[in-house]
Amino acid sequence: MENLVNVYFFGKKYQVPESLTIMKAMEYAGYQLVRGCGCRNGFCGACSTIYRIKGQTELHACLACQQKVENDMYVATLPFFPLVKQVYDIEKIKPTEQIMMQLYPEIYACIGCNACTKSCTQGLNVMQYIAYAQRGEYEKCAEESFDCVMCGVCSSRCPAGISHPQVAELSRRLYGKYIAPETQHLIDRVKEIEDGKYVELIETLMNKPIEELKELYNNREIEK
């Protein structure tokens, strides 16, 4: 029989196998999850959770679908956190420093406590990417924040009330749209397609008998 550990969901004690993640342990205990569960794979940020091990002062943050249970773990899920998301028209804004000042002025109130970085469930340097955003260095902000799953734990710990994931999202879109180099071969190909360049080619293919298509497929040249 597998080892059982004691965990406390919202203060109530349950015994669960020690190999389980927090998410699976909650289900094992009998919870039918509706909130706080999305991809179950560490990509969507639905399952933000905070926990403390009995007797220790440190408060931990994690994704429930990724974190294993431990003995004497006190768990509270954070299925929703009121992040501030400002709306803007991506076609109209420009990647200038002003745009952050307009949309997310609170980032300039960062007191440098680093609580965001310490709590990041993805291990990102959150305070650093906010610093980049403050300076309008969107490429750096975009790169540094790229693995963000927007779980919101950082924001829950921020004394300045910053919505870090939304600041990062804006930076990434600014970078992707305005700063990253344009792709000429893409623009060219789209134009060719608009001009109908491939219509005949594909239609000829479509109208071939299956046997002939099989021939073509099985003998097609493959790029090294």
Site residues for ligand FES per CB under 6 A? 37-40, 42-47, 63, 65, 149
* Shortest distance, position 46 Cβ to ligand FES, whole Å: 5
* Shortest distance, position 159 Cβ to other proteins, whole Å: 26
| Binds other proteins (CB under 8 A): choice among 5, 46, 64, 120 | 46
Q: Nearer to other proteins by C-beta: 102 or 113?
A: 102
* Shortest distance, position 8 Cβ to other proteins, whole Å: 18
What does residue 113 show for φ and ψ, rounded to 5 degrees?
-80, -20
Enclosing H/E stretch for 5: strand 4-9
Residue 34 interaction partner, one of ligand FES, other proteins, none, beta carbon < 5-8 Å per kind: other proteins
Interface with other proteins, residue 4, by CB under 8 A: no
Q: Nearer to ligand FES by C-beta: 65 or 130?
A: 65
Residue 49 forms beta bridges with which residues? Answer: 62, 77
Q: What is the 3-state secondary structure (H, E, C) of 14-63?
A: EEEECCCEHHHHHHHHCCCCCCCCCCCCCCCCCCEEEEEECCCCCCEEEE
Q: Nearer to ligand FES by C-beta: 65 or 120?
A: 65
Residues from 6 through 45 that contact other proteins (CB under 8 A) = 17, 19-21, 24, 27-28, 30-35, 37-44
Residue 30 interaction partner, one of ligand FES, other proteins, none, beta carbon < 5-8 Å per kind: other proteins
CA distances in angstroms from 112 to 97, 130, 142, 166, 195, listed in the order given: 20, 10, 20, 19, 54
The interface mask with other proteins, positions 111-150, x = CB under 8 A, is -----------xx------------------x---xx-xx
Interface with other proteins, residue 1, by CB under 8 A: no
Interface with other proteins, residue 195, by CB under 8 A: no
List all residues 6 or more positions away from 177 whose beta carbon is below 8 Å from its beta carbon. Answer: 90
Residue 31 interaction partner, one of other proteins, ligand FES, none, beta carbon < 5-8 Å per kind: other proteins
Residue 14 · residue 25 · CB < 8 Å: yes
| Binds other proteins (CB under 8 A): choice among 53, 78, 85, 140 | 85
List all residues 6 or more positions away from 187 whose beta carbon is below 8 Å from its beta carbon. Answer: none
Residue with tokens 């919505």: 163
Q: Record the tokens describing residue 124, joined without a space.
A: 């990102």
Amino acid at 83: L
